[in-house]
């Protein structure tokens, strides 16, 4: 089997679309954060699915950036790096939620619930240590990175601009969850899921002639037909 740049770009598009689908699916009938201690198994399954989603999203984001890195310029690079940092830290948070917190539930339930509350944007009652820093940086990277990366995608016009704008707006809007009731957490995730699906499908349909560009560095990418 021959691995081509175009094939990898198409695979990244599939990964992005799959990430968006999982992101929406895990929000359906999601238990409240206070239910962690009584519905641990479901939490582990959902957190594991979210960890898979972050890996797929990272692959998709990388494909989107590489598809148009020349046109995106420094803004695209900054957006990509910051957004990737946010997703990498979110991956670590989901791994901790799935593999570590359930083991601590019997011995230190207060700490576990404080971490769950902080991860949902709430204020923990006690000290949760360094994981609070991880959560803060992950949130900042996700919000700022999504905004900058979305703007960069919008400016290039290679992928659908409406999906790029939705990505930027949906990631920034999550900052409002810090002051909104918990019931808003799940609906706010849906727009980004839709954006990832749309961008992923567009990337799969319009991967560009990457191998030809390798042979001809002067080749110019054409925007996708929208």
Looking at residue 155, its pLDDT comes to 93
Query: How far is 19 from 94, CA to CA, in rounded Å?
Result: 14
The H or E element containing residue 168 is helix 161-173
Looking at residue 41, its pLDDT comes to 82
Residue partners of 221: CB distance under 8 A and separation at least 6: 67, 68, 70, 71, 158, 208, 213
pTM for this structure? 0.84
Give me the residue spans of the domains in the chain: 13-215
Looking at residue 219, its pLDDT comes to 43
Asked whether 26 and 50 are in contact (CB, 8 A), the reply is: yes
Alpha carbon of 185 to those of 21, 43, 168, 197, 201: distances in Å? Answer: 17, 15, 17, 20, 26
Asked whether 167 and 199 are in contact (CB, 8 A), the reply is: yes
pLDDT averaged per 10 residues in sequence order, the chain, 226 residues: 84 95 86 70 88 96 93 93 95 90 86 85 82 91 94 93 94 73 68 93 81 42 48
Query: What phi and psi, each to the nearest 5 degrees, are found at residue 224?
Result: -70, 150
Packing angle, helices 185-205 and 5-25, rounded to 10: 160
Packing angle, helices 131-156 and 161-173, rounded to 10: 160
């Amino acid at each position: 089997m021959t691995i081509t740049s175009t094939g990898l770009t198409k695979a990244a598009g599939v990964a992005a679309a799959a990430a968006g689908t999982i992101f929406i699916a895990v929000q359906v009938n999601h238990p409240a954060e206070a239910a962690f201690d009584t519905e641990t198994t479901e939490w582990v399954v959902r957190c594991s699915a979210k960890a898979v989603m972050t890996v797929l999203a990272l692959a998709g984001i990388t494909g989107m950036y590489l598809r148009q890195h020349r046109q995106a310029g420094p803004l695209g690079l900054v957006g990509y790096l910051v957004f990737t940092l946010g997703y990498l830290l979110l991956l670590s948070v989901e791994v901790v939620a799935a593999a570590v917190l359930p083991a601590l539930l019997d011995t230190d339930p207060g700490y576990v619930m404080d971490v769950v509350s902080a991860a949902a944007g709430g204020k923990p009652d006690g000290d949760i240590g360094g994981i609070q820093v991880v959560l803060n940086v992950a949130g900042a990277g996700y919000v700022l990175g999504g905004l900058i990366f979305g703007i960069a995608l919008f400016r290039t016009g290679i992928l659908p601009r409406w999906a790029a704008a939705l990505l930027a707006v949906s990631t920034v809007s999550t900052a409002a969850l810090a002051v909104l009731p918990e019931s808003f957490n799940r609906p706010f995730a849906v727009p980004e899921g839709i954006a990832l699906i749309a961008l992923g499908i567009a990337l799969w349909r319009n991967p560009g002639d990457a191998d030809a560009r390798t042979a001809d560095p002067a080749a110019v990418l054409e925007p996708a037909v929208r």
